[in-house]
Chains A and B, each alone.
Chain A
Amino acid sequence: MSIPAPLPLPAPPPVPLPARAALRWRVAVDPGHAALMAILLAILGVFVVLPIGVVLKVALTGAEGGMTLSHLVRFFHTPLYMESLVNSLVAGLWTVAIGTVLALPLAFVVARYDFPGRMLVVTLATLPLVIPPFVGAIALMQIFGRAGTVTLLFQDLFGLRLNIMEGLRGIILAQALHFFPFIFLTVTTALMNVDRSLEEMGQMMGARGWRLQRRVVFPLVLPSYAAGALLTFVKAVDDIGTPFILGFKNMLGPQAYLRITTVGRDDVDGYVICVVMVIISIVCVLASNWIVSRREYATLQTGARAPEGGRTLTGWRLTGVLGMCAAIIGTALIPHLGVVLLSFSKVWSLSYLPSAYTLGNYAEIFLRAPRFVVNTLVYSVGAALLSVVLAAAIAYLLQRGRVPGKGLLDWIAMMPIALPGVVVGVGFLRVFYGITLPWIDQPLAATWVIFVLAYMVRRLPYALRASHAALHQVHPSLEDAAGIAGAPRLRAFRRVVLPLILGGVIAGGVLVFVTAAVEFSATIILVSRIEQSPLAYGIYIYSQSALGRGSAAALGVVAIVIVALGTYLANRLSGRGRMAFTL
């Protein structure tokens, strides 16, 4: 038995390899992975980078070619655009503010106290997420508008003329009622994750009650809240459906749409507005990510988490808390009530409730014009499938791939999260109108496939996150073990990895489906023929004809049902107790 010559201690630093002719060098890049990476980058390049790049290029190209900022400068000297910018920002800020006022008390009560109906409060408080804000807007008009139920009540009882839905106010109300659950969920989660011992330490140091909340709890929860609020702001600015339904056009999204559709696809101003929207969005998303990356100290404490619930409430405190919850949730559920009522109404004019009811609106959308629902299902399922396949491949490469360029892939794939729907729509229109499909002799942008692709791009980050999380649960050794057991790589993926991530991946797909089913911003830019239009545009079209509100509401109910079922399914599949909704 050979005992090698003893080596000096400590072991020597890494030495360069001896130059031996027989040496065989390992290939650092897996060719299969490299090929996959190339395909993925090509797909993302065409459908993500190219459209946004073209928007940027048009906005920054001068009349004689060459880079210029003059268009952008002109934007800030055009009163209408400045007014639109201010309106968009103001609406976003107010949405966040009102959303916060609704969400914070609820979140605090749910995270800190135990009382009967607590879980019910949590469930009901997330329900507004299932009603798209532009659907809610239709209902809110019927309740708070000039001839709305509440307005009439005030007029008849107190002689007061309320004016709640006028102008920006209506948009803010509709958006705040839709988005406040985002804030509620982020803050509740953060509050529950705050290590109880931190609070107890604060108590021992003498802080109590409000002071304890202010000095210990709020600073710990603030980062989560800020991140959630920023993303809510982004989504509020992105939403152009609500302004459209309420007929308010002096905001960025509607202006971009109007420029592109009435002035023309070559109108620079439309692209400049898009660029401004992207800048706002990117700034907010980056800020949010930065905050999240810094907040680890608040949530990654080890040890006992706050137990479910907290102090039990009794007596007048209980009454007060229940009253507050009922008031907030009651307000938040008004749109649901309004939509359902409106969908069954035949005549609802200047009365508290409809004066004649009908099933005709449902007959209209299911029997006479079922294409809206069918189109929505086709597009959303298509988008979900495509994005799930893409996302699974991307997540696999990111986690297991032996190939350079993973950072770039990740970055591009997550980019759509900061791209407003209008921008995706405008970019798609610009790029894919020039591409003619030879076998049907039509531009790609004129076929229904464009919706599938646009929705796929819009929601890819959702699917990617879900796939990422699912794949993260699968230890690499499971795949190694399959390889050892005799399964080549693809078979190992199919027999071991795929079944294990399928639940999470499908949950991601369902999420894509759900959000694509109510996508409005990109839709309204891309839609040309009514035969191709999905539900969201159908709602808009119906709401545009004086007698179509009922049918619009009926379509809205269909949208709500799709979203609610999908969300429930996604929750079941991803096995999480909480809403699978991610911002």
Chain B
Amino acid sequence: MRLQPVDVEVRGLHRRFRDAVAVHDLSLLIQRGEFFTFLGPSGCGKTTTLRMIAGLLEPDAGEILFDGRDMTRVPPWHRNIGMVFQNYALWPHMTVFENVAFGLVERRAPRGEISGRVEEALRLVGLEGLGSRLPSQLSGGQQQRVALARAVVVEPALLLLDEPLSNLDAKLRVQMRNELVKLQRQLGITTIYVTHDQEEALMLSTRVAVMHRGHLMQIGSPQDVYERPADPFVADFLGGANFLPGAVRATSGEGIAVVLEGGEVLHASASRNAGFAAGERVTVCLRPEVLDLVPADGAADGGNVLHGTLRLRNYLGWVMTCEIELRGGALIRAQAANPRVQLRFAEGGPIAVRFSPEDVLLLPGSA
């Protein structure tokens, strides 16, 4: 396949549905060959953005450029893109072959060439020999591969994927995820992916854009957005987090001391939390998996310790999640590996959580 991927630039994109703003003033640049993901809960505007890039929806305002060329008014059939829909959108009255060949026919590909290119695309997704089947005779995973083959066979400049894995069962989803990333790397095609599944986003993408209520919250590499969430929403949406309001008491070269509202003092690493000044109000962000459960009378050997009461424990086999009411009254969630050991803590009994300063993330302002 001779793909000529493009970069995609979006400037001031805006779209409104009746009274609700679906996408608000969105600007970003997607590099050539990148695997770019829009991530967010349903209704955040990610699919709307994708459909505008595809040309299926016209923006109220803003511009869409491929390689610097303005595509805003170009209809989808002239944009040379491939797209996989959430429900695959396979044409039920056409065979697999006809589905895949459709775009080539529309592009007036030479007759002799079509069959070879369709076969190649089917081989690429592991469906060689199934060309004469109808979509209804295929399994969900196979349908998804046909949709993928149909999207790439036309050698598009841009591949759009709209939650393509959400209709598959868990096991198949993992498998397809791996194949998808392999295929994308192999073809080197600029790919825009839309999902609400953070795992998919983190695993597949070169960069992730987190959206919320039509606004772009953060753009960055998977590690960026996970490790350095720009705000409590991103932190909470990616992996979940506990938020405790507080204020910076002092800063030094090694660490930052933060006073919580209940009066407890925490230490945070200065290297991870640069740019905070004493007296500044902050939100302390603690991911549940960094909290160790320790007995209430245990020693605080160098880490931070918060005391409280175990309110609820959920035993899930490989992990145990707990809700702990801190002395100040705040409720936090903790997630403990090796739950067999942690079953010693009884619901309603005293407990403490321990965590290192490296795991403390400070966000400016109070929630």
Contacts and interface: CB of A to CB of B under 8 A. Distances in A.
A481 B12 contact: no
Contacts of B25: 17-18
Interface stretch (A305-313, A446-454, A484-492): A484-492
B230 A496 contact: no
B219 interface: yes
A485 B106 contact: yes
Interface in A6-22: 6-12, 14-15, 17-18, 20, 22
B93 interface: yes
Nearest to B51: A480
Nearest to A480: B56
Contacts of A487: 77, 102, 106
Interface string A1-42: 111101111111011011010111111000000000000000
B14 to A, nearest CB: 6
A495 B224 CA distance: 46
A72 interface: no
In this complex, which of A3, A20, A25, A486 has the most chain B Cβ atoms within 10 angstroms of its Cβ?
A486
Contact of A20 (B12, B55, B76): B12
A482 B102 contact: yes
A1 B218 CA distance: 10
A4 B85 contact: no
Contacts of A22: 12, 63
A276 B47 CA distance: 53
A369 interface: no
B82 interface: yes
B176 to A, nearest CB: 19
A23 B215 contact: no
A486 B219 contact: no
Interface of A is mostly: loop
A24 B102 contact: no
A404 interface: no
B61 A485 contact: no
Nearest to A484: B83
A475 interface: yes
A483 B217 contact: no
A500 interface: yes
B336 to A, nearest CB: 28
B167 to A, nearest CB: 12
A15 B213 CA distance: 12
Contacts of B217: 4, 6-7
Contacts, number: 134
A4 B219 contact: yes
A486 B220 CA distance: 33
Given A9-B233, A24-B61, A484 B81 contact: yes
A3 B230 contact: yes
Interface stretch (B15-23, B306-314, B341-349): B15-23
A478 interface: yes
Given A3-B220, A11-B215, A17 B60 contact: yes
A72 B214 CA distance: 59
Contact of B91 (A3, A18, A478, A489): A478
B107 interface: yes
Nearest to B231: A6
B92 A500 contact: yes
A477 B93 CA distance: 15
B211 to A, nearest CB: 10
Contact of A486 (B21, B24, B91, B154): B154
Interface residues of A, number: 41
Nearest to B221: A1
Given A3-B230, A477-B89, A11 B61 contact: no
Given A3-B230, A9-B233, A485 B58 contact: no
Contacts of B154: 485-486
A41 to B, nearest CB: 24
Interface string B43-85: 0000000000011101111110000000010011101111101
A24 B63 contact: yes
A575 interface: no
A4 to B, nearest CB: 6
A6 B89 contact: no
Contacts of B33: none
Interface string B336-367: 00000000000000000000000000011101
A9 B231 contact: yes
B219 A2 contact: yes
Given A26-B60, A485-B106, A17 B87 contact: no
Interface string B79-120: 111110111011111000000001100110000000000000
A12 B214 CA distance: 10
Given A481-B83, A484-B76, A484-B83, A17 B63 contact: no
A105 B90 CA distance: 46
Contacts of B81: 484
Nearest to A496: B91
B106 A6 contact: no
A478 B89 contact: yes
A499 interface: yes
A119 B213 CA distance: 55
A14 B12 contact: no
Nearest to B92: A500
B61 to A, nearest CB: 4
A318 to B, nearest CB: 41
In this complex, which of A18, A477, A485, A495 has the most chain B Cβ atoms within 10 angstroms of its Cβ?
A485
Given A482-B102, A487-B77, A487-B102, A9 B232 contact: yes
Given A14-B21, A18-B25, A480-B89, A4 B63 contact: no
A1 B231 contact: no
A8 B220 CA distance: 19
A400 to B, nearest CB: 12
A489 B55 CA distance: 12
B106 A25 contact: no
A492 B297 CA distance: 71
B230 A4 contact: yes
Contacts of A20: 12, 61
Contacts of B72: 24
B102 A25 contact: no
A128 B52 CA distance: 54
B150 interface: yes
27 contacts: A3-B228, A6-B231, A8-B365, A9-B232, A9-B233, A10-B213, A11-B212, A14-B20, A14-B214, A23-B61, A25-B60, A25-B61, A477-B87, A481-B89, A481-B91, A481-B150, A483-B77, A484-B54, A484-B76, A484-B82, A484-B151, A485-B106, A487-B77, A487-B102, A488-B75, A489-B75, A491-B106
Kindly list the 3 A-B residue pairs having the minimum CB-CB distance in the complex, ordered from nearest: A486-B106, A485-B103, A11-B213
Given A6-B217, A475-B89, A486-B103, 9 more contacts: A1-B207, A4-B219, A11-B213, A25-B61, A26-B15, A480-B89, A481-B91, A482-B91, A484-B54
